[in-house]
A and B are shown apart, each in its own frame.
Chain A
Amino acid sequence: MNTIFLEFAVVGLGIVLLLAEAFVDRTNKDYLAYLGSAGLFVILLLSFLPIQGPAPGSSDAAFITSDILSVFFTRFLLITTIIVLLMAPGFKPVLARYLPAEREGAGVGEFTILPLFVCAGLMWMVSSIDFIMIFVALELATITLYVLSTYLRQNNASLEAGTKFLILGALSTGFFVYGITWIFGVTGTTNITALPHAISLLPESSILPLLLGIALILVSLSFKIGAFPFQFWVPDVYQGAPTPVSAYLSVASKAAGFVVLLRLLLALETVPVVAHKLYAVITLLAGVTLIFGNLAAIPQTNLKRLLGYSSVAHAGYLLMGVASLGSLMAIPAIGLYFAAYLAMTLLSFVVLMVVAEATGGDEISRFNGLSQRSPLLAGAMLLAMASLAGIPFTAGFVGKFMIFEVALKQGHFGLVAIGCVTVAAGFYYYFKVARAMYWQQPTEETAIPVSMTVRILIAVLGAGILAIGIYPGPILAALR
């Protein structure tokens, strides 16, 4: 099967659901979420059929590839989207509160459907090998995400988050475009796979402009993945955006950014003059990102914001892996880390969403005594936090283990040392949540109701964390 079919299937699903939303007269829009995730699930299953890239020589072949990286992350994005879609029904009350709706359920449908387009964009992004395609796919995802972040338009935080995301995102787009321009100007191509050859033909003097282009691309990718000093939007947007959108941002859009970064690096690896400069810079980025993300997270009191900082921190660990690309295991390690990251981050966002709805806020103090109000939610959150902190037998641990392994193998001793300090910091801020849930007394004793969808989500994600933590083999194998 042609890989392009998958993306178009997602787009088609989105259009079908849009039509359904428009023409089916139901106030309860939950069915859209279930339909959407069921459709995505089917697409996910389809992705396990034998997949070829576009036929060589066809026009698409210049843009799209179906290597293991793209296949892996396509599935990754599909799974993320399924879970985010399933979060939507739980988020209905918040939407109802902050949308100027004429009748019940207004706006819920679009909120459920737009992620599908984001998904399609990100899927294109992870399989494209051409800057132009990447640009278009990236903008498809990003612009839709601007909308989703601002979705609660009567909520100041959401508006603020959307505005910040918009301005900074557009700024980053500017740099991206400018970077493509320079690379194109120097090499005459926008195709990543063609880059090494094109560079090899370049005279010595043209390296500087090329490097400028690469630096600008790196800027915008750093923005996308939330690496210091381009991470500033991350905590603010995560805190303000609707919870499922924050979850989506932190998992899917970060992953897509990393895939592009990986592709660029893998292509340039054969060009030593560029590659070693890039590695040096990425090593540095990894170090400062680790420090900023982890240390600045320490004093946080708002869980959503904390997860934003944590997302920056994990970008740091992932960058550690990227900086170690020289090792054969680096890409499997990064993939594993992402798989882990998906499970643990989404699980914490799911629990956060339920608890925030039940207690009226997403500060850590709202979690006080959660273990007495809902042992299930508390246990799930504890598992997620343990995994984020990197406790063995959870996915987060094997992820960190592999990352540290490849980093050590590549001799990044400084990064590893920073990693140790920041892991300790991580223990502190993740365990702050555990403390609230288990040590503190709840302000009210009533049990928190948990819907069946959420229960299933928790069960699946929790099982995922443990499964990856105990038996990570298949995921590593998928990327080798």
Chain B
Amino acid sequence: MQLSTIAWITLVIPLIAAALILLVTRANKPLAAGLAILSVLIAFIGSWFIFWHGVNADYLGFDWINLGKTFSIPFSLLIDPLSRTMFVVVTTVALLVFIYSIGYMRDEEGYSRYFAGLALFLFSMLGIVLANNLVMMYIFWELVGVSSYILIGHFYTKDSAADAAKQAFIVNRVGDFGFLLGILLFWISTGTFLISPLNSSAGLFVEHPGLLALACVLIFCGTVGKSSQFPLHVWLPNSMEGPTPVSSLLHAATMVAAGVFLLARIFPILSTSPQACEIVAWIGAISATGAGFIAIQQDDIKRILAYSTISQLGYMVAAAGLAVSAALPMFHLFTHAFFKCLLFLTAGSVIVGMHHEQNIWKMGGLMKKMPFTFLAYCCGMLALSGCPFFSGHYSKDLIMACSWEHHRAIFWVLVIGAALTPFYMTRQALVVFFGKPRSEHSEKAHESPWVMVVPMLLLAVPAVCAGYPVVKNFFFKDIGSLAEPEIPPYVDQVFLAAFLLGILGAFAIYRNVAKDPLRIPFFAQRFYLDDLYDWIVRVIQGGFARICSFVDRWFIDGILVRGSATLVWSIGFALRFLQLGNIQAYAFFFGAGVIGLIYLILNVR
């Protein structure tokens, strides 16, 4: 079998699974799950196979749209080092999450729907990864959006879930607004939206650096939406309303990673525009730190992780903005995929153990009751915090080093973020797993079934060692340089100090407390951004809509349409009163008419 065939099969098989589940096996739960897992397994094998072969190719599929010479949108797969690496990451994480889901979703409603959604999600993500042009990417980008909509809204009878799904979709669309405009702008300026030619088209923009920056920033809008960067980050925490495996998939290898992947995809052209890079870097840095601050005051176990995701994505985006190498953000994405997935799976395990209690202040002392979960959690948490010898440390350290090298201000902002991460993760660990049980549920908590535990433990391995140089070289050697820049030694020490400061600070504050000693409403209320957006949507947009509606109803329909109809009607109503019914009146009108007619005929022109 040819590689191209394998690649196509790998891409399409989840879609087929999704369709089959939807059409055929709605009633049969095991079959639905089996189909989904089978498809992801095939995809997993296929992706590794392709990765192993290490080919670089552009597999021409077919012209999705072909208008002759003038215009065509091809559907082709671009296999290059970047997509190969991303390919395996996605399928691997997905495989584990799919398996884990069997256990997690066992007693939930909409079992088949859930697996169909997952398969569709996987299909969409693979499409983004393999797309050879931006339009195709946009197509799958949208599909990712809708799959996330389906999955976040899985418990649609809950108002909060329904709202969160809607919000996620719409906020993503706002980002896509920019993305699509960016594609169009690139197309009109360079005549192409194929990734490879586009990346080498920098020469066309020599005269118009502003145009290039604008196009890049517009594309970046897509990332802001999908990767949940400031100011479009609000949907991600709310998306925790979905089932936890979904969150895990969303936050690790799919959806949010897509944004960063997009940046890596257009990195060659992006990096030629300093202005665009500056904006990208700052958005990333602001998100990294801002989300960290918010995370330290959250009480929901999954929301804390969600904000940490935003924060980590901020690192990746900032890394892309440093314009060093496409590998830099990808490396952090790679390590983050494993440990964040792991963290969500453990959180899911905790939630199942806690009978769907998610408030960390109702937990406590779970270490003994859920030992495996705790073990896996520790791996993830330390990796996320940037603890040396854990994967997160390597990737984050590299980003810090590069930012020191290329952009000192960004570095200092990221350092603050680096201190916040261990702080809130330690807080979470202390509150959830240590101390005494603080509720009935936490007293009765139990370890999860094996089908959930095994994926966690399997994931713990890459979470620990994904950052090691061997792994790094294996996966990233072709993508771009990941060499440590020449930096003074104290930079590393600052980074390490931030880590320690975070951990120790958390220990100092959160050891053996029953409720949160810190009260910072500004952080707890997420900088009031959600309220601000709520206000904008409700008052500004709603007001505008109401004004439009009012104008439509009373001016256009009322005055212009019904008004003119009424006018005609009234004229008719008035005219008919000429018809007095009295012969003399008629004779008079007749006479007057005669006078008028004679006058006209005698005098006209």
Chain A residues proximal to chain B, CB less than 8 Å = 163-164, 167-168, 171-172, 175, 208, 211-212, 214-216, 218-219, 222-223, 228-230, 232-233, 235-236, 276-278, 280-281, 284, 291-292, 294-300, 309, 421, 424-425
Contacts and interface: CB of A to CB of B under 8 A. Distances in A.
A396 to B, nearest CB: 20
A277 B576 contact: no
Contacts of B583: 163-164, 167-168
Contacts of B605: 276-277, 280
B589 to A, nearest CB: 5
Contacts of A211: 601-602
By DSSP majority rule, is chain A's interface helix, strand, loop, or mixed? helix
B568 A421 contact: yes
B575 A229 contact: no
Contacts of B604: 277, 280-281
A219 B594 contact: yes
A295 B572 contact: yes
29 contacts: A168-B587, A168-B590, A171-B587, A172-B590, A175-B594, A208-B602, A211-B602, A212-B602, A214-B601, A215-B600, A219-B593, A219-B597, A222-B597, A229-B589, A229-B590, A229-B592, A230-B590, A235-B579, A276-B605, A280-B605, A281-B604, A284-B600, A292-B575, A295-B568, A296-B576, A296-B578, A299-B573, A300-B576, A309-B576
A231 to B, nearest CB: 9
Interface residues of B, number: 27
Contacts of B598: 212, 215-216
A171 B571 CA distance: 29
Nearest to A285: B597
B568 A168 contact: no
Interface string B552-587: 000000000000000011011101101101010111
A211 B590 CA distance: 19
B596 interface: yes
Nearest to A278: B601
A271 B470 CA distance: 108
Interface string B423-462: 0000000000000000000000000000000000000000
Contacts of B587: 167-168, 171
Contacts of B601: 211-212, 214-215, 218, 277-278, 281
A365 B583 CA distance: 28
Contacts of B602: 208, 211-212, 215
Contacts of A235: 579
A280 B602 CA distance: 12
Contacts of B568: 295, 298, 421, 424-425
Contacts of B593: 219, 222, 228-230
A296 B590 CA distance: 18
A236 B597 contact: no
Contact of B597 (A215, A298, A421): A215
A271 B42 CA distance: 95
Interface-centre pick from A229, A233, A297 (highest chain B CB count, 10 A): A229
Contacts of A424: 568
A229 B599 CA distance: 14
Interface in B24-81: none
Contacts of A208: 602
* CB-CB nearest 9 A-B residue pairs: A295-B572, A229-B593, A298-B572, A296-B576, A232-B586, A296-B575, A215-B601, A215-B598, A280-B604
A230 B576 CA distance: 14
Contacts of B581: 236
Contacts of A214: 601
Nearest to A424: B568
B598 to A, nearest CB: 4
A298 B573 contact: yes
Contacts of B596: 229
Given A216-B598, A296-B579, A309-B576, 11 more contacts: A163-B583, A168-B590, A171-B590, A208-B602, A216-B594, A219-B597, A223-B590, A229-B589, A278-B601, A292-B578, A296-B575
B541 to A, nearest CB: 37
Interface-centre pick from A222, A223, A299 (highest chain B CB count, 10 A): A299
Nearest to A280: B604
Contacts of B572: 294-299, 425
B590 to A, nearest CB: 6
Nearest to A429: B572
Contacts of A300: 576
Nearest to A212: B598
Nearest to B577: A296
A280 B601 CA distance: 8
Nearest to A164: B583
A246 B601 CA distance: 32
Nearest to A234: B579
Contacts of B578: 232, 292, 296
Contacts of A236: 579, 581
A215 B578 CA distance: 23
Contacts of B575: 291-292, 295-296
Nearest to A228: B593
A425 B589 CA distance: 25
A298 B571 CA distance: 9
Interface-centre pick from B572, B586, B587, B589 (highest chain A CB count, 10 A): B572
Interface-centre pick from A164, A212, A298 (highest chain B CB count, 10 A): A298
Interface in B387-427: none
Contacts of A167: 583, 587
Contacts of A296: 572, 575-576, 578-579
Interface string B313-343: 0000000000000000000000000000000
B384 to A, nearest CB: 70
A281 B597 contact: yes
A233 B586 contact: yes
A216 B572 CA distance: 28
Contacts of A212: 598, 601-602
Nearest to A299: B573
A299 B572 CA distance: 7
A48 to B, nearest CB: 39
A298 B568 CA distance: 9
B413 to A, nearest CB: 67
A215 B596 CA distance: 10
A236 B578 CA distance: 12
Contacts of A229: 589-590, 592-593, 596
A297 to B, nearest CB: 7
A278 B585 CA distance: 27
Nearest to A178: B594
Interface-centre pick from B568, B581, B589 (highest chain A CB count, 10 A): B568
A214 B598 CA distance: 9
Contacts of B600: 215, 280-281, 284
B594 A164 contact: no
Contact of B576 (A218, A291, A299): A299
Contact of A232 (B569, B589, B594, B597): B589
A299 B585 CA distance: 21
